Structure 1
């Protein structure tokens, strides 16, 4: 796992319902039966509550525990599994879930370091990529998907979202092609006006 592959995919702390939705937020991807999902999941992380962290700890005996983190015994795909963190950041206990590729022995520590660095910033801010990931994570499955045969060959398989464009009606757009105004319109009000963060 490289630092550039580590990404926050949801803003705020996910409740239990949202947490379970995001455990497999790529479930509708094309070629789901292929086992090449390592790059898709490895490095994704989001915040959860203390109750959600404790609930996951009690479901099954962990694969392993190391201080402030534990790994789930069940693997999502190949060597990808869930890692749960209980971290103290700026004097406050916070809890996180992330996916690590355990074929890279250092990936849990790399993810923990990235989470602490990201969440220790003095001003709340979001990168464009974080805004797009939040939109994808919070959009209902019925309103998001993947570009199919009707799209240009170079766009097939890319993520899409439905966008309401006023008088133009509702259109299906590539997630990565949303304009800044469209991104703002898709975000909840409390996230629309956060400052831009420089990507790490």
Structure 2
């Protein structure tokens, strides 16, 4: 099973309301996910807009609330719940959502610190794992899947349950495991995602294939 870093950015850019709700459940179709633990989500975070932040604040009475932070009273699973952050970074207030495991009471503060460290770091401070998560989240469902789910014969048994993406379409279609993407393939897809978010006029998935 893949080992994730404690805190990881899973979406590039500012998620719209539609994208935010999709990211709330983006592990629901992943194999070997225990829906009662919430662990696949724990530590994930992404940026949202002010409108989404205030909408979620008014949706349910918060589990807890303090300056620049509140937790959703409806748990995702186990001890994992949504925590929303309003953080001033380089003079501008920005808003974020993260899944925190409240089994560790310091988890929200640790996540806040991780977000600040990430967003004030180098221009391209995303780790390889974070880029892969961003690529997976941005890729349209028609261009990604889980190895062995539809046609087990297409993939060796040891790869069943792993995520794959379309690398090249057309008659010479090529599929590749997400974890096996080369640095060049990752850079191409990240450039496509950045361009999509810089130029988009609405809410839609990027197809970086």
- Contact kept, 8 Å, 2:145 with 2:164, in 1: the verdict is yes
Cα separation, partners in 2 of 1:190 and 1:35, compared to 1, 3 Å: closer
Q: Per residue, is there more strand in 1 or in 2? A: 1
Residue 124 of structure 1 and its aligned partner are, at CA, apart by 4.1
Residue 103 of structure 1 and its aligned partner are, at CA, apart by 0.8
Per the alignment, residue 155 of structure 1 pairs with 159
Alignment length, in residue pairs? 188
Q: Which is worse superposed, 24-33 or 100-109?
A: 24-33
After superposition, where does 1:1-200 map in structure 2 within 5 Å? 4-32=5-33, 34-38=35-39, 40-121=40-121, 123-148=123-148, 149-150=152-153, 151-164=155-168, 168-169=172-173, 171-189=174-192, 191=194
> Quick one: distance in 1 between partners of 2:193 and 2:159?
31
Residue 32 of structure 1 and its aligned partner are, at CA, apart by 4.6
Cα separation, partners in 2 of 1:89 and 1:123, compared to 1, 3 Å: same
> Quick one: distance in 2 between partners of 1:48 and 1:57?
13
Residue 190 of structure 1 and its aligned partner are, at CA, apart by 6.5
Residue 68 of structure 1 and its aligned partner are, at CA, apart by 1.1
SS at match of 2:73: strand
- Contact kept, 8 Å, 2:118 with 2:126, in 1: the verdict is no
State the Cα deviation string for residues 88-117 of structure 1 (Å, max 9, x = none): 111110000000111111111100000011
Q: CA RMSD in A?
A: 2.2
SS at match of 1:88: strand
Residue 160 of structure 1 and its aligned partner are, at CA, apart by 1.6
Question: Structure 2, unaligned stretches of length 5 or more?
Answer: 196-209
- Contact kept, 8 Å, 2:37 with 2:79, in 1: the verdict is no
- Contact kept, 8 Å, 2:82 with 2:97, in 1: the verdict is yes
State the Cα deviation string for residues 136-168 of structure 1 (Å, max 9, x = none): 111123332222244333322222222225673
SS at match of 1:187: helix
Cα separation, partners in 2 of 1:54 and 1:126, compared to 1, 3 Å: same
* TM-score under structure 1 length normalisation: 0.84
> Quick one: distance in 1 between partners of 2:19 and 2:112?
21
> Quick one: distance in 2 between partners of 1:4 and 1:63?
26
SS at match of 1:74: coil
Cα separation, partners in 2 of 1:47 and 1:163, compared to 1, 3 Å: same
